[in-house]
Structures are given as C-alpha cells and as structure tokens.
Chain A
Amino acid sequence: MAEPLLELSAVTAGYGPTHVLRGIDLSLTKGERLAVIGRNGAGKTTLLATIMGLTRLHGGKVRLHGLEIGAMAPFRRNAAGLGLVPQTRDIFPSLSVEENLLSAMRGDASLDEAYTLFPRLKERRRNGGTQLSGGEQQMLAIARTLMTRPEVILLDEPLEGLAPVICEQLMAAFEELATDGTRAVVLVEQHVEAALSFATRAVLMSNGQIVFDGPATELRERPDLLHRHVGVGIET
C-alpha cells in the first residue's frame, strides 16, 4: 500500500468549545481523488477547515508526509503542501485577476499554468476581483490556490450556485488536475452525481462522523445510504 500523504486519526474538532467532527479517521495517498459528501451541517466544510488549521483541533492527529501538523498555523500548512479553495472563494476585490494570482505565487509557479487551465482568466486578467462572474471567481480561486504548489487540493463546494456549463468546465479542470498523479484532490460537493463521477473514492459524512469510506462506485450502488444521509437518489 502506498505511503499516506495526508492522515487524520481520531480527529475531534470544531469551532470554539463546540465539537463538530467526532473521531474522524481518514488517509489520503498521492494521486487519489476523494469525494466528501453529506447533508448541510454534516461537517464537510469543517473537515477541510480542520485539515487546513482554520478550526480548533480538540483531539487526534493530523499528519502530512508523516509529520504532525496539528499545531501548525494555516500558512505553514500551505507551505507544507495543503491548498484550500474555500466555499466563499475570497477573491481579493481590489486586486486584478493577475494580481490575485501573483499575490499567492510561489516557487516555479507561473501565470501561464493558470491561464492554460482556465483560458477565461487570461481574457479577464486586467479585471478587478469584483468584476468577475461567479464561475470566473471560482476559476480564479482555484488557480490562485494552484499558485502555491499544493500536493493536496481541498475544494469546498466549488460548483455551488454555478451554471451547468460552468460546472462542466470546472469538472474538466479537476480532471486535468487529478490526472497527472502528482497531487491528491479532495472534492467536497453537494452535487453527489458530479462528485462521485469524478472521484475514485468517496467519504460520506453525517453528524460529524464518517459513515462510509470506500470506492465511489460502491457508494453509487448504495442508494439506501445516500437516501438516509444525503437525502438524494442517484441514477445508476
């Protein structure tokens, strides 16, 4: 079995004294595509925030490359190889597209990479962060995270509120990010169909716990679980 890139063991975490995640065990290897699904409030966003160090870790261990990172500040975790694309996108409004990318650029990252993945951003490179559509903002948020050279990309509901055609473009970009096998992609998504068609492995969360962890194809064949914990059916 491949050495785990990211590993969470018995993680309990939340906001302030509140526990949202309870006893999470999860490991991720290089090149893996993981979908995290669940209802609103299941703890999906908190899971990503905990990996990134944006919440309070009450207990358990978070390791990256075997190194304990539970006490590390978010900027150090990013430098260590974690990259989060938040649900809120958090584009810097006063900076142009290009400046947003440059503000995060590290090492051998280049603007061309971002523009190759999302040609639309090149066309809009002089536009301010607030002059972009929702889809363009999402592309920029993803591209900006890529500028930090992450080995694990954490995508928090990137398709939320976007038109189907934009969702398709983004899914194609996720495919491209995952295919070279150099990084792991974690996709938290409410669109179960899209998430499971992209992922090779799926995690189903409910009430801050993992109730299923296995191949995405297996979860697709468990409509009972999906109904109970997500409240949706899926075409198989």
Chain B
Amino acid sequence: MGRFVPLILLAVAVGLYFLLPYNLAFLTRILIMVLLVLSLDLVLGYAGIATLGQAAMYGAGAYAAGLFAIHVWADPLAGLVAGAVAGAILALVSGLVILRAQGLTVIMLTIAVAQICAEIANRARDITGGADGLRGIRMDPVLGLFEFDFVGQVGYWYALIVVAVIFCFLMVLGRSSFGLSLRGIHESPARMGAIGVSVYWRRVAAYTIGGAIAGIAGALTAQITQLVSLETFAFVLSAEALIMLILGGTGRLYGAAIGTFVFMWAHHTAASNDPFNWLFVIGAMVLAVVFLLPKGLISMPAALTQIFKGGRDAGT
C-alpha cells in the first residue's frame, strides 16, 4: 500500500487542479508550504534537530531568487538553483555553530538566525526593499515555453513538478545509508557515533540539505508571487511549518504533505467562515491529533484498523 501513496498524492494534486480551477493560487501556496515542511521533516523528523527557524532558509532562498531574477537572469530554473544555494549556504554557516549546541539552545539559536536575517533584510533597504518588500521580479517563461499567467496555471504545474522531484529525491535519500544513519542519530546519537558515524557532520549535512530545500520553496514563492516580503523570515512561518509537520507525522514524507494540506485547508476554510475565531479550530484540530494520533494523521489508517479489529474481536 505504502508504495502507492506518492501516486495517490500526485493524483489528488492533479485532481484538485481540475476541481478547483479558481483556487490555483491557494493550491500553489499549499505546494510551496509542502516543500518547506518537507525540508523541516528532513531536519527534525529524520535528523532530530529541533528547529523553529526554518523560515530563515526559506527567506534567504526567496530573496536570493528575487534578486537573481532582477539583477542577473530571470530564468525560473536558474532562480531555483540560486534559492537552493542561498538556503544551503545559510544553513551550512549557521548549522556549523548551532549544531554544536544541544536541546533548547538549538531552538533558541535557530530562532535567532531567522530574526537576524529578517533584520538584515529590513536594514538593507536599498537592496531588499526593506519593509516594503522586494518588488519588480519578472520571470521568464519556464523552459522558455510556459509564461506565468494571471490565473496561476503555469505556477501550479511548475510548483507541483518541483515538489514531486524534491519528494522523490527525499524518498531516495531517506532510504540511502545516509538517510538511515540520520534516523539512527535521531534515536541514539551515541550509538550512531560508536558505529562510525560522525553525528555532528551528518547533522550539519542534513541541516544544509534541508536549508537548500527550504531555499527552493522560498525561490518558488518569489517567482510565482513576484514579491518577497520580510514575512518570509517570520517566526510564525517556522512555527506553522512545525505544526503542519506534527499534524501529519514526523519522519514520514507523506506525513509532511498530508499535514500541510490539512492544516492549510482547515486554516483557509475556518478563516473564511469566521475571521475572528478561526484559530480556535486550528487549536482544537492540533489538540485532537496530538492526543488521539500522537504519530500524526499518517497513522490514522493503522489506528482505525486497530479499532476495527478490536471491535470485531470483541464481537466474536
């Protein structure tokens, strides 16, 4: 069954394009968030690095792709590379320091890095546009063929393909000895060290790869919305990404995708119906999942099967 989940997710994404043709901007935002949450899953769910600053790499990727498009080359794929490189460099440089620490200190440092980045972007007004945001991003057509359109059709397909490619990459990475060692580090760093793995450098590598993916997510935002604001570094973004991951289930790529979709859909629906109390719905949903499905929504089929089996056994 597990091997069909990516295909099911892909089919849902394609189906939504046809079912909700007037909500493509929102659906594209979900896809971009899926990418950010996937990057967080690699860092937190696999490598066990507690972070509340993944937005730092996302923002760095967004600004890098935006500036690259304005000043160097407006090709979307080249912009993605620029975003990935910016995210990876920031993650590498900050990770080398942050990952020497443990526990709560790591969380505090990751928050600090995102805040520092936000302040730099705010102060460097001449380059970044400061609080007004980076404007004037005009992208070339994707592959020289597909122009970004007002409705968002090209943006949606572009984001979907990028997310699918990154998803496949992470699936391969997760099954490689590198990915397995990250899971081992998450469960027992001391043991992993004793079987020859440098825990520190593996964590730095995972943080850097996660940073590159977050940078790509930021680059997609910059290219599709053609605007980069200081909000890309916001603490709220990192926190929401964490909630989405916990909601879906950490350490499972599908969990990241499902958690993001459910969170953003609930957010969208609740906020449209009750703009003042929508947070109550989100809070209740997170509480319900944490208490009833501690391993996230991804564990729901197994939990339901167990309940069904239990009921059937009790009946016999």
What is the interface of chain A, defined by CB distance below 8 A to chain B?
52, 54, 73-76, 78-79, 83-84, 86, 90, 92-95, 99-100, 102-106, 144-145, 147-148
- Interchain CB contact under 8 A, A95 and B180: yes
Stretch from B159-167, B194-202, B219-227 at the A interface: B194-202
Number of interface residues of B (CB under 8 A): 18
- Interchain CB contact under 8 A, A75 and B197: yes
How distant is A99 from chain B, measured CB to nearest CB, in Å?
Answer: 5
How distant is B173 from chain A, measured CB to nearest CB, in Å?
Answer: 13
Chain B residues lying within 8 Å of A76, measured Cβ to Cβ, are: 198
Within 8 A of A (CB), among B11-58: none
* A129 closest partner in B (C-beta): B187
- Interchain CB contact under 8 A, B184 and A73: no
Chain A residues lying within 8 Å of B269, measured Cβ to Cβ, are: none
Judge whether B203 is part of the interface by a CB distance below 8 angstroms.
Answer: no
- Interchain CB contact under 8 A, B198 and A86: no
- Interchain CB contact under 8 A, B196 and A106: yes
Query: Considering residues B177, B181, B191, B197, which has the most beta carbons from chain A within 10 angstroms of its beta carbon?
Result: B191
What is the interface of chain B, defined by CB distance below 8 A to chain A?
177, 180-181, 183-184, 187-188, 190-199, 251
A-B contact count (CB 8 A): 63
Q: What 15 additional pairs, Cβ within 8 angstroms, besides A75-B194, A90-B190?
A: A52-B194, A73-B198, A74-B194, A84-B194, A86-B194, A90-B188, A92-B183, A92-B184, A95-B184, A100-B184, A103-B181, A103-B184, A103-B197, A104-B196, A106-B196
How distant is B86 from chain A, measured CB to nearest CB, in Å?
Answer: 30
CA distance A95 to B199 in the complex (A): 17
Chain A residues lying within 8 Å of B191, measured Cβ to Cβ, are: 86, 90, 92
How distant is A22 from chain B, measured CB to nearest CB, in Å?
Answer: 24
Given A92-B184, A95-B180, A102-B177, do A79 and B195 touch, yes or no (CB 8 Å)? no
Q: CB within 8 A of B194: which of A78, A93, A95, A106?
A: A78
CA distance A105 to B187 in the complex (A): 18
CA distance A191 to B123 in the complex (A): 69
CA distance A147 to B197 in the complex (A): 12
Given A54-B190, A73-B193, A94-B251, do A103 and B183 touch, yes or no (CB 8 Å)? yes
Chain A residues lying within 8 Å of B187, measured Cβ to Cβ, are: 92-95
How distant is B316 from chain A, measured CB to nearest CB, in Å?
Answer: 25
Q: CB within 8 A of B183: which of A75, A94, A106?
A: A94
Chain B residues lying within 8 Å of A103, measured Cβ to Cβ, are: 177, 180-181, 183-184, 192, 195, 197
Given A90-B188, A94-B251, do A145 and B180 touch, yes or no (CB 8 Å)? no
* B251 closest partner in A (C-beta): A94
Can you report 26 A-B residue pairs in the complex whose CB atoms are below 8 A from each other?
A54-B194, A73-B193, A74-B193, A75-B193, A75-B197, A75-B198, A75-B199, A76-B198, A78-B195, A79-B196, A83-B195, A86-B191, A90-B188, A90-B190, A90-B191, A93-B187, A100-B184, A102-B177, A103-B177, A103-B192, A104-B195, A104-B196, A106-B196, A144-B195, A145-B195, A148-B196
- Interchain CB contact under 8 A, A95 and B183: yes
* B190 closest partner in A (C-beta): A54
CA distance A209 to B184 in the complex (A): 35
- Interchain CB contact under 8 A, B194 and A102: no
CA distance A103 to B191 in the complex (A): 11
Chain B residues lying within 8 Å of A104, measured Cβ to Cβ, are: 195-197
CA distance A6 to B192 in the complex (A): 22
How distant is A69 from chain B, measured CB to nearest CB, in Å?
Answer: 14
CA distance A26 to B187 in the complex (A): 34
